[in-house]
Amino acid sequence: LECCEGDGLALLNALVSAAGRGSASEKQLLTNYCKLIDAFGVATVVLERALRGEVEATTAASTLFRSNTATTKLVGTYTKTVGATYLRTTLAPIINDLIADNTSLEVDATKMGDGADDATIASNQAALVKWADRALNDIVSDVTRCPIAFRRVAACLQKYVVAKFDSAKYSSVGGLVFLRFFCPALFAPASTGEVLAAEATAVRSCKPAARTCVLVSKMLQNLANNMPFKEQYMKGWADDWVGANTEKFQNFVDLLVDVPESDD
């Protein structure tokens, strides 16, 4: 137990290395580690020290949580463990509705063949905006559905990030909640394992729906990053959507991190 709380997470690093980075054994090890620290009531202490060390070692806010370090893997595994039900209840409805609709909403002319006319692209853009609105609203509508343990991680991360990079108040939490939690699950439901297993199976045979999941996840990701789109086919209309929803995203983050101090 003392090793679990130690600065530098030396034990975790050693175990991850022994298991093989990126392996199934590593994933199981991280899951068991998270259950262990949660059961002993030291999750907050362990994660806080890990996050503090990660931020201190980061030289630019833009690179924070972009690499697969032991800390990012630990935090990612912990939030996915405590937030499994939250993830499913939030994303399963929209994924299932996309599968049921299964309409091609492609906006990249290079993927559309003979159907790449301006009117079709404009119509698809408008439809994607509606789906992105739906996804965002499903996420931000009720912050109390997010487990307190998850919210405390987000609050802790923001605290350390703001102390060093004050401009990253929102993007830091966005990176945790959107880039490493919601967006990967929407982009590829199979990545969630059993959490969205039924949706992952169904979407494999629904290519238009799968592509819409990818495009909507891109929109959510850039909203969280507050970055303009690099893809030519997303520029303009999707950037406008990000700008129109920035305040809603920031209000969600403010509510998410407004949690009482941990007792453990």
pLDDT tens digits for range 48-96:
888 998 898 888 888 887 777 888 888 999 999 999 999 999 999 999 9
- Cβ neighbours of 244 (radius 10 Å): 12
6-10, 108-112, 164-168, 234-238: which range is least confident on average?
A: 6-10
Band of pLDDT at residue 179, cut at 50, 70 and 90: very high
The confidence score (pLDDT) of residue 116 equals: 83
Structural tokens at position 223: 């909203």
The confidence score (pLDDT) of residue 77 equals: 92
Calpha distance 184→52 (Å, rounded): 24
3-class DSSP assignment, residue 6: coil
| CA 58 to the chain's CA centroid | 20
Rounded to 10 deg, the angle between the 70-82 and 43-56 helix axes is 140
pLDDT tens digits for range 127-154:
999 999 999 999 999 999 999 999 999 9
Q: 67-106 in b/e burial notation, b at 16+ Cβ within 10 A?
A: eebbbbbbbbbbbbbbbbebbbebbbebbbebbeebeebb
- Report which of 98, 136, 142 is spatially closest to residue 242, judged by C-alpha positions: 136
Calpha distance 82→118 (Å, rounded): 45
Q: Structure pTM? A: 0.91
Mean pLDDT of all residues in the chain? 90
The confidence score (pLDDT) of residue 199 equals: 96
Band of pLDDT at residue 183, cut at 50, 70 and 90: very high
Calpha distance 38→45 (Å, rounded): 10
Average pLDDT over residues 170-184: 94
The confidence score (pLDDT) of residue 216 equals: 98
264 pLDDT exceeds 50? no
Band of pLDDT at residue 17, cut at 50, 70 and 90: confident
Calpha distance 74→156 (Å, rounded): 14
The confidence score (pLDDT) of residue 6 equals: 52
The confidence score (pLDDT) of residue 5 equals: 53
Share above pLDDT 90 across residues of the chain, in percent, rounded to a whole number? 67
The confidence score (pLDDT) of residue 248 equals: 98
